[in-house]
Structure 1
Amino acid sequence: MADATNLNRPLCCEQFGSGAARGCFAAADGSLQWEAWGWRWWDFSGAFTVKPQRLAGGAGGALGTASPPLSSLIAVFLPQGFPDSVSPDYLPYQLWDSVQAFASSLSGSLATHAVLLGIGVGNAKASVSAATATWLVKDSTGMLGRIIFAWWKGSKLDCNAKQWRLFADILNDVAMFLEIMAPIYPIFFTITICTSNLAKCIVSVAGGATRAALTMHQARRNNMADVSAKDSSQETLVNLAGLLVSLLMLPLVSDCPGVFDLQQLVEGHQEPYLLHWDLSQNQVQVVLSQMAGPETILRAATHGLVLEALQGDGPLPRGLEELRNQVRAGPEKDNWVIVRDTHQVLDKLFPKFLKGLQDAGWKTEKHQLEVDEWRATWLLSTEKKVL
């Protein structure tokens, strides 16, 4: 049994790197009592007792030690000797930097999806040579911007590291926003993605240079390489998590009915009115342009009546009868195909219908339809171009 006078005197101590040391005491029953680990960031307590054991030959049991449960994660993602080997602001900075990297990963997935959509992926009418030329112009613009920015502001990145780091993060968000918006205005697509890539190249220069300065500040034991390597590991883990979330998010966004409806409305901008056919509520909603006159209003009303007739059982011309069969056989998402096809049918039928009204004595210069005063303006070109 251990002497009571020596119970408060440690038999030995252990320490990892510059971490807090803990002692080993002899308990009254002869067992070894280890102090708790004192980890600065997690308040971990891991005190344990080693009971004496009898082995063959009369030898005593070997002394054991306990490792904290987070030691594996610390070794993989944090610099050796953490937290004493880095600056006190290391952990808060890395936490917020990881949040920013995760959000940027999600935004980057949306931006990549938008750029591929705008450049013609999935469009049979897209030109491979035009897409290649657009991509080369985009990359060339970014390379020139990278060189010019490094020459223009390179000497100022050391003295204002935090300012330029914040500037890089904001500019990166602006660049991804431009890429997401690029497919909405096809005639400006090339200019938009060139501008966004120019901004991203500036971000790479400003962010990379200031990151080196911040790493120098965080490394307290001349361990810049270790701090930089562990920062890369943390960023890779965050990007991997962002990738997994993006795989779940992109189908929800791309297949969202609201987004699909908006895309189809924009694609139908060549008409002086926009038409939305909602089968679930049995409604046809019409948006008129500023240039819509009485003839356009009559055509929009006729268009709505044609769509209503497609849901009925009455006799129809041959072209509309085929569309009726498509309405009954296809899913609701294909209704936009029917709307597009009815535009083409009306291009042939409506002039005859209008002339028949005029020949019958109807005055088509005016109408008594209930139409509100709201008018819309769409500034897109009359032909959707994919560069």
Structure 2
Amino acid sequence: MKFATTAIHGAWDRKNSVRAVPINRTVSYNFRDTEHAANLFALKELGHIYTRLNNPTQDVLEARLAKLEGGTGALAISSGTAAVFNSIINVARVGDEIVSSSELYGGTYSQFKDILPQFGITIRYVDPHDISAWKNASNKKTRAFYYETIGNPSLRVPDFEAIRKVANDVHVPVIVDATFTTPYLLNIIEHGADVVIHSLTKWIGGHGTGVGGAVVDAGSFDWTDPKFATFNEPDSGYHGLRYAHDLGDLSPIAFVLRMRLVQLRNLGACLSPDNVWIFLQGLETLALRMDRHSKNAHQVAKFLLTRPEVVWVRYPGLEKDNSNYQTASKYLKRGFGGMIVFGLKGGRETGKKFIESLELFSHVANVGDAKSLAIHSASTTHSQLSEADLLAAGVEQDMVRLSIGIEDIDDIIEDLKKALSSV
């Protein structure tokens, strides 16, 4: 099945008497007998034990996401932030290091800068577009490379395949936050990702009604390298199980299986069945919405270029931004997404006044909604960063971030015209 069909029908048997995927609002599940219960807990067979670990509704979402990404398995989790954190601690522990792009969402940057060091994990930041920097920042302690497909909010696109080549040389997995592209605009596994992260809250959910995250396992990385201790040393919680060696037919999902059995089981960042159902609804229209988001955003970006109040505009699909467009157009064949950033004459204060003058756009801390959204990044989503960190993340003081919705383009541009005229 093609993408749009898989997003609607994937992982759900049409012969099922229930046509729509139901919400399974249950905490626990009946075991057939004591042997069945023991087998489930011992991993001798797979099934449902407790909704913190998995749920029949969640099974469909995870299988559908894995199909859309071309992965071997997936894990749905409580938020995109939880997906990032649990992916890192799944592969790194005390004394290990991660090489990361400096162009990150503010919450991820804070997690990497202030929280992971408390676990003894060091993050080394690099300019993601300087390919030599990835190799130079790597050493024997490096356990993964990390970047975003489109930096938030820099909106710059790294050269994925070039980073993959360096990762191969160092022999580390590539962990990628693909929230801004979704699996519709980009299949990042085809271009070198071993682990894919999504904030389901954004375009996949699509309507600002549920919080959740997901991790997709490409099933391509060889975890038997002894330096990956979490996959090679015996797990005392599962009778000495070594995830890189003892999973048999389940080895292609080693990454997400360990995350489910260790982090999700014991730390509990689970996703509610109701939110799972919300994301299944969102997936069904993802292809349609991403086409509209991309088309609207492209038109808004070109409109902003014509306005005298605007100093600069950044959108991956603008040919004027030659360095970014060259890389973006190499990978993004279906569209360039729904995000735009731009700067206004007058800087930070003018940006605030512009946002307060908008009527159709909602002033909220979110992106990927069917509704158009706006925010001033330096004073909100990235306010915890120092001036130097802001520059490294690609956040200018005058930057306004727009998440373009799927409203009629004439109404979107009319609202922007009025707000620009007011400043």
* Common fold: TM-score over 0.5: no
Q: TM-score, length-normalised on structure 1?
A: 0.26
Structure with more of its chain in helix, by fraction:
1
Report which of the two structures shows the higher radius of gyration computed on alpha carbons. Answer: 1
Pick 1 or 2: higher relative contact order, CA cutoff 8 A, min separation 6: 2
TM-score of the pair, normalised by structure 2: 0.25
